[in-house]
Chain A
Amino acid sequence: MPGSRFVYVTYIRTTPEKLWRALIEPEFTRQYWAGTYQESDWKVGSDWKIMIPDGRLGDSGKVVEFDPPRRLVLTWRNEFKPEMKAEGYSTATYELEPAGSAVKLTLTHEIDKPNSKLIEGVSQGWPHLLASLKSLLETGESLVESRTWPEGV
């Protein structure tokens, strides 16, 4: 049975080390990822979660691979939308490759289910938050509309 898959490629003028930190450290993610932050000790096999600013759990999973500043693989289940949570665990893979004075970031988010609501949802979210991350690293300011958790969600 075919699964669902979202792939996004973007290039950011920064170093792999800075991009790596910006992807996982709360002081960065709060600025471009709707005010959220991640909690983990970032060891392979450890728990990982995204916290919504109002205290709810956003997503959770395990750290599958942690190879800074090259490759991060997480299992990923949505925790705040019942229809997405019911789909169970997806896999998100971040790959960072130097590309001249920029870094190529490839994000793959997939699940072993056809027509996944989770993958449909993250397909809307990733381009916006990764664009905001790129703005933050290149200009010092994230995109204003991506800084706070949307009302009513």
Chain B
Amino acid sequence: MIARPHTVLVIYIRAEPERIWRMITTREESRRFFYETDIEPRAGGSFRLLKDGGEPTVEGQVLVHEPPRRLRVSWKELSDPGAIFGEVDYLLEPAGGSTRLTVSNYDDPAPAPEYLDMGRKGWGFTLSSLKSLIETGKPLPAPS
């Protein structure tokens, strides 16, 4: 596994870790705020993000599977033929009434600054929408 993340995003959600785990790892919940996530629930299993038509846009492997605390997957963007496998790590920790979700992005070498900026915005939206969906029942509208 790659040792150091280049981007770390943190959000606090009013929900139990189990609930957030289910949102992130099940096909029917994940598609409500992100890509549909198709995951074999074990270390070494396959991991894919699917577009609306079912076509994969990201594929990889499950590296760590410890529900409801930690998930780590390798991550290859299929739209980018030159992409290498990066890694994304989700950590869920109780935080005095809420749950702290930490999403860490690993790529070696780290992406150029403009991609880091795009990634931060993209994840900022995704995690904000996840929080809205859990706390209000509605995800955020996709930005135009």
Rounded to whole angstroms, the CA-CA distance of A9 and B7 in the bound complex is 12
> Is B128's CB within 8 Å of the partner chain A?
yes
Main secondary structure of the interface of A (DSSP, over half): mixed
Cβ–Cβ < 8 Å partners of B125 in chain A: 9, 11, 104
- Comparing A39-47, A71-79, A125-133, the segment that makes contact with chain B is A125-133
> Is B65's CB within 8 Å of the partner chain A?
no
- Asked whether A13 and B136 contact (CB < 8 A) given A132-B12, A143-B97, A144-B97, the answer is yes
A100 touches B12 (CB 8 A): no
Interface string of A117-153 (1 = CB under 8 A from B): 0000000000110011011001100011110000000
A12 touches B128 (CB 8 A): yes
Rounded to whole angstroms, the CA-CA distance of A56 and B27 in the bound complex is 49
Cβ–Cβ < 8 Å partners of A146 in chain B: 12
Rounded to whole angstroms, the CA-CA distance of A134 and B10 in the bound complex is 14
Cβ–Cβ < 8 Å partners of B98 in chain A: 131, 143-145
- Asked whether A11 and B124 contact (CB < 8 A) given A101-B141, A104-B143, the answer is yes
Q: For B12, B95, B125, B127, which residue has the most chain A Cβ atoms within 10 angstroms?
A: B12
Cβ–Cβ < 8 Å partners of B138 in chain A: 13
B128 touches A143 (CB 8 A): no
B120 touches A135 (CB 8 A): no
Rounded to whole angstroms, the CA-CA distance of A11 and B142 in the bound complex is 11
Total chain A interface residues with beta-carbon distance under 8 A: 24
> Is B30's CB within 8 Å of the partner chain A?
no
- Asked whether A13 and B97 contact (CB < 8 A) given A131-B13, A143-B12, the answer is no
Interface string of B120-136 (1 = CB under 8 A from A): 11001101110110011
> Is B144's CB within 8 Å of the partner chain A?
yes
Cβ distance B94 to chain A, nearest Cβ, rounded Å: 10
> Is A99's CB within 8 Å of the partner chain B?
yes
Cβ distance A128 to chain B, nearest Cβ, rounded Å: 5
Cβ distance B5 to chain A, nearest Cβ, rounded Å: 13
Rounded to whole angstroms, the CA-CA distance of A99 and B138 in the bound complex is 16
B143 touches A100 (CB 8 A): yes
B141 touches A8 (CB 8 A): no
- Asked whether A13 and B132 contact (CB < 8 A) given A131-B12, A144-B97, the answer is yes
Q: Which residue on chain B has the smallest CB distance to residue A127? A: B10
Cβ–Cβ < 8 Å partners of A134 in chain B: 128, 131-132
